[in-house]
Amino acid sequence: MSKGELLTTTADDTVQETTQSNVVLELDDVAKHYGSERVIPELSLSVRDGEILTLLGPSGCGKTTTLRLIAGLERPDGGEIALEGTSVAGNGSFVPPERRGVGVVFQEFALFPHLTAGENVAFGLREWPEPDREARVDEMLELVGLAAHADDYPDELSGGQQQRVALARSLAPEPEMLLLDEPFSNLDVDLRVEMREEVRRIIKEAGVTAVSVTHDQEEALSISDRVAVMNEGDIEQIDAPERVFQQPESRFVAGFLGHASFLSGRVHGDHVGTALGRVLRDDVNGLAEEYDGTRIDLLVRPDDVTAYPATGAETDGTVVYRRYLGPTVLYRVELDDGDVIECMHNHSDQIDLDERVAVRVTADHELAWFPAEQRSS
């Protein structure tokens, strides 16, 4: 596999085998603790050549510690880290950060205020011959769209421009891997969306393998080739963004990646009976025959169900919550059997609080499910 080619798990379950030749980074049973607190009990992870992998999870789950271990800013207390097949930490070895061939883009960008954009980019190229250094700086500034700002100082640049300078500086020494620590958290909302697309473009054009860290679900899903969802120092699921969102392997993953409601039902042959009517078995992902007659919980996102104002016997529940979001409105409906589900509607739809509604499952994809006994109390 040449550099820049991607190896992903596709939505139709076609999985290409990962081989040693396309693994750039490997963590094998890596552990890290601070005193008696085990931040990462035992973590294993492989990152493939040319991909953007995002570590996603809540604060304190160990994702930033994992990034620092990869960068060499922390030493693991167990296990091994290998880059390009060579051990850089563990089993008695430790390669310092500056010798790992890893670039880091920090959350606060960490630009030198007394250096121009061009001088910031050139900072890690001090040992290069001057003509090569100047050519590389020009190339990097052109890549990030800042060729006209080489002589500008950081305080003369916008937040998005500062981020691109930081990215160019990290890419300039031709690292084998790029690490990004919450790269968009210091930007305003509109610029954050724009920069996600721009940073992905730059990384792909540079042909570098990247590991990013964030707690922002939308960011992780939009920028990544694969997403690794972390919880309490462990990876709950790692897969393509579409798979992680639509077919989560745990209730934690389902709940962390956006709004998640669980619709209880019982499996009956070719369908699942629920308070909202039948859901065909063919519309439920991987529901094996041995679950016939058992109770399960179907995962429904707000855009998988629709509520309709209705009366009398036609209704299924009552609207107990309404949140206006501009283009859309989020409704929470308490069903008559006790389940609570959320529905996302166009802003022009008007359903009042305490209004009785009929609810229908309108998903156009296979629903994920969990055995009912796993439901949290």
Residue at which a domain ends, from 199, 234, 255: 255
pLDDT of 20: 57
CATH code: domain of residue 48: 3.40.50.300
Cα–Cα distance for residue pair 349/274, rounded to 1 Å: 25
Domain count, the chain: 2
Which one-letter DSSP state was computed for residue 348? T
pLDDT of 183: 86
Give domain status of residue 166, yes or no.
Answer: no
Cα–Cα distance for residue pair 112/123, rounded to 1 Å: 9
The percent of the chain in helix, strand and coil, each rounded to the nearest 5, is 30, 35, 35
pLDDT of 108: 82
Read off the pTM: 0.86
pLDDT of 21: 61
Q: Say if residue 249 is in the same domain as residue 266.
A: no
pLDDT of 249: 95
Q: Say if residue 334 is in the same domain as residue 368.
A: yes
Give domain status of residue 122, yes or no.
Answer: no
pLDDT of 187: 82
pLDDT in tens, the chain (377 residues): 333 333 333 333 333 444 556 999 999 999 999 988 999 999 999 999 999 999 999 999 999 999 999 999 999 999 999 999 999 999 889 999 999 999 999 888 889 999 999 999 999 998 999 999 999 999 999 999 999 999 999 999 999 999 999 999 999 999 989 999 998 887 887 788 888 999 999 999 999 999 999 999 999 999 999 999 999 999 999 999 999 999 999 999 999 998 999 999 999 999 999 999 999 999 999 998 899 999 999 999 999 999 999 887 889 999 999 999 999 999 999 999 999 999 999 998 889 999 999 999 999 999 999 999 644 44
Q: Which amino acid, one-letter code, is at 65?
A: T
Q: Say if residue 227 is in the same domain as residue 297.
A: no
CATH code: domain of residue 337: 2.40.50.140
Asked whether the beta carbons of 307 and 333 are under 8 A apart, the reply is: yes
Cα–Cα distance for residue pair 27/139, rounded to 1 Å: 33
Q: Say if residue 341 is in the same domain as residue 220.
A: no
Which residues face 209 on adjacent strands? 177
Number of residues written out for the chain: 377
Q: Say if residue 242 is in the same domain as residue 328.
A: no
pLDDT of 298: 97
Q: Say if residue 362 is in the same domain as residue 304.
A: yes
- Structure tokens belonging to residue 16: 């290409």
Cα–Cα distance for residue pair 349/329, rounded to 1 Å: 8
pLDDT of 373: 62
Q: Say if residue 219 is in the same domain as residue 85.
A: yes
Give domain status of residue 130, yes or no.
Answer: no
Q: Which amino acid, one-letter code, is at 355?
A: E
Q: Say if residue 45 is in the same domain as residue 67.
A: yes
Residue at which a domain ends, from 220, 255, 290: 255
Q: Say if residue 229 is in the same domain as residue 93.
A: yes
pLDDT of 6: 34
Residue 329 belongs to domain spanning = 262-374
C-alpha count within 13 angstroms, C-beta hemisphere, residue 15? 9
pLDDT of 375: 47
Nearest to 79 by CA among 44, 53, 35: 44
Q: Say if residue 185 is in the same domain as residue 326.
A: no
| Helix or strand run (H / E) with residue 183 | none
Give domain status of residue 314, yes or no.
Answer: yes
Q: Say if residue 284 is in the same domain as residue 303.
A: yes
CA dihedral for 247, 17, 84, 2, sign (positive or negative): negative
* Residue whose structure tokens are 């499910």: 369
Q: Say if residue 91 is in the same domain as residue 50.
A: yes
pLDDT of 235: 97
Give domain status of residue 337, yes or no.
Answer: yes
Residue at which a domain ends, from 217, 240, 255: 255
The secondary structure of 94-127 as a DSSP string is: E--GGGTTEEEE-TT----TTS-HHHHHHGGGTT
Q: Are strands 78-83 and 23-34 parallel, antiparallel or unpaired?
A: antiparallel
Q: How far is CA 123 from the centre of its chain?
A: 31
Q: How far is CA 15 from the centre of its chain?
A: 20
